[in-house]
Amino acid sequence: MKKLGLLFLAGALTIGLAACGGADEETTAPKQEESTEAGAASGVEEYTITATNWDFTSDKELTIKKGTKVKINLVNKEGMHTISSEGLGIEMGADKPAEFTADKTGEYELICSTVCGATEDHEAMKISLKIVD
Ligand SMILES: [Cu+2]
């Protein structure tokens, strides 16, 4: 039984390493990237989500007013991650931002949709997005 556990762990580690293989060491001081709201001119609120192994380093709670046009960018600082939300019907990647209109109030979950490491690490990557009146 113990051996099996170790084997599983080794397997998980290998997957984890593969996911973040080639990731550059951060040589510059980490820059905090906050979600940014674009000017009202374009009528689109733009957010940027940053991902590392295995965390989202930008805001983990987004609150958006109903009726807002939203664009969400994903920046992978480390590893390969994608984001999806079943509730919102969106799927995005590093080179594929999500654009939608927040037309239904509620609380939605944005999750990492690429198995990017050990299950518990990967499943910890979540962002809550609230659409409010
Ligand atoms: Cu991930």
Where exactly are the structural domains of the chain? Answer: 2-19+36-132
pLDDT at 8: 52
Residue 30, pLDDT above cutoff 70: no
Residue 15: is its pLDDT beyond 60? Answer: no
Q: How far is the CA of 82 from the centre of ligand 1 (A)?
A: 7
Considering the domain delimited by 2-19+36-132, tell me its CATH architecture: Sandwich (2.60)
Residues in contact with 51: Cβ distance below 8 Å, sequence separation at least 6, in sequence order: 57, 74, 75, 76, 77, 78, 79, 81, 83, 112, 125
Between the CA of 41 and the centroid of ligand 1 the distance, in Å, is 33
74 pLDDT more than 50: yes
Given this model, what pLDDT does residue 67 score? Answer: 97
Q: What is the Å distance from ligand 1's center to 133 Cα?
A: 31
Task: Note the pLDDT tens digit of each residue in 77-129.
Answer: 999 999 999 999 999 999 999 999 999 999 999 999 999 999 999 999 999 99
51 CA distance to ligand 1 middle (Å): 7
Task: Tell me the CA–centroid distance for residue 78 and ligand 1, in Å.
Answer: 9
